[in-house]
Amino acid sequence: MNPRLNEKPRDVHLYCTLMACGDLCVATKTNYVEILNFRHFFKHIVFTSEGDKIRNKEIKNYINVSVVVDIECGNTTN
């Protein structure tokens, strides 16, 4: 028995209530598909740690950005 069947829906879209389905299904597998990868240039400060109590401050000029899509595949006939 699904324990979410007795829950009230949290989101409403126009006149339809939205309820998540398949959240408790154990027959799903997750795949991440990278759709974009780039380097964004800007100066920012990063703290790196050396041990428990030592932190060093460094100035970085860029960050690497990766945009991914989470694709879940599973049995949706429940």
Alpha-helical segments (H) within the chain = none
pLDDT at 45 (0 to 100): 93
Question: Which element (helix H / strand E) includes 45?
Answer: strand 29-49
Domain boundaries along the sequence of the chain? 3-73
Most confident among 29-33, 62-66, 68-72 (mean pLDDT): 62-66
Tokens found for residue 38: 């780039």
Longest CA–CA span in the chain (Å) reads 55
pLDDT at 41 (0 to 100): 96
Handedness of CA 5, 6, 11, 17 (dihedral sign): positive
pLDDT at 51 (0 to 100): 84
